[in-house]
Structure 1
Amino acid sequence: MQEGKMGVVVEVRKVYPYPFQHVVNSYLNKYPTPLEKHVTGIKTVEEKTDPATGIVYRRRIATCNNVIPSFLRKFSILKISNIYLEEESWLDMKARVMTLKSHCLTWAQYASLNEESMYKESTENSNWTEFTQKGSITITGAGLLNCVLETFAQTFLKQGVKRSILIMETILQERCGCPFS
C-alpha cells in the first residue's frame, strides 16, 4: 500500500491452487454472499461474445452498502445508502485469461476508484490460477475532507482486499476441494 499525490494504491498477487475454469466460475458467481455483507447485488447489464475470437465481454453493476463512517455522513454528499461500481470483464477461454476493469460510479466528481485485475492460468502449474490486481483511490473536490476520506479509504481497501481473497478461498474450498485447509 502506497500513498502520496496519487491517493491510495494497492497491488496484490495471489496464486489459487485450482484450475482457471473453477476460479473464474467462482469469481463470476461470488456475490452476493453471506461472507460479504457490503455487496448486496450484482447485475449483468451487458454480455456478448465476439464470434471471431470467442472472447466473452461482460459489464456488471455492483450495489454496495455505503461504508463511510456515520460521523462523515453528516456531509450531504456522503448521505446515501448505496454505492455503485461498474465492472467490465473480458474472458478468453482459449488463452485462459480474464481481465477486469472496475470503477466507482458514485461520487465520480469527488473520488476516483479504479481497479485492474487479471486471472490467468499459472505458468508454474496449469492446474493453478494466478490473480493480480492493482487498485487506486484518489479523493478530490471534497475540500478539507480529502485527507480524512483518503485515510479511511486506505484502511478500507487494505481490509477489503484481504476479505475478498478470503472469500474466494472459502468459495473455492467449498466448491472444489480443500487445498487451503
Structure 2
Amino acid sequence: MSYLFQDWEANKGNLKGRLVMVLFRLARPASINIFFRMLWLPYLAFYKVFVEWFLCIELPHWTSVGKGLRLFHGQALVVNGCTTIGDNCYLRQSTTIGNIIREDGSFSSSPVIGNNVEIGANVCIIGDIRVGNNVKIGAGSVVVKDIPDNAIVVGNPARIIRINEPVQRMLRIEPEFLQKLG
C-alpha cells in the first residue's frame, strides 16, 4: 500500500498531483509482463483517457519514476515512456522530456534524470542525455547536452550558470572551528 502513496507527501497541498501519481503507481504493474498488462487493460484505458486526455499529463505507465515525484501545476506535461526519472524530482507545467529523431530517421534514447532535480516551467529536455543529481533547470530552458551534478542551468540552449558545492563537503566541519564555537 505504501507503494501507491510514495509520492503523497511530495504533493502535499496538490490534489491533482496526488491523484495523478496514485493513478500512475496503480498502473505500473501492467509494465511487469503481458499477463499483468492484459489483467490491467481496462484500468490502463481509464488511465490513458483520464490522465492524458482530461488532465493533460502524458506520463506513460511504463516510465521509470523514482519515489517522491512532485507535479506542480500538472498541465501540458509530456514525458516519453522510455525516460528515467530519479527520486524526489519536481516537474512543472508545459515541460517536455523525450527523444529526438535523428537524420537517418531513427530515434535517440530518452533522457535519464537524476535524483533531486527541479525542472522549471516550459522546459524541454530531449535526446540521449543525462541530467545529474541535485540539478536545477530554469524555466524555458532547452536541454540537449548532459548536465553534471549540482548544476544550475538556464537558457536556450541550456548553459550552466553555477555549480553548487555538494552538501557533503559543506557539512565537513574542521575540528578547530568546532573548538572555537566551544
TM-score range, shorter chain: under 0.3
> Structure 1 length as normaliser, TM-score?
0.22
> Structure 2 length as normaliser, TM-score?
0.22
From the two aligned structures, give the one with the greater strand fraction.
Answer: 1
Tell me: higher relative CO, structure 1 or 2? Use CA pairs within 8 A at least 6 residues apart.
Answer: 1
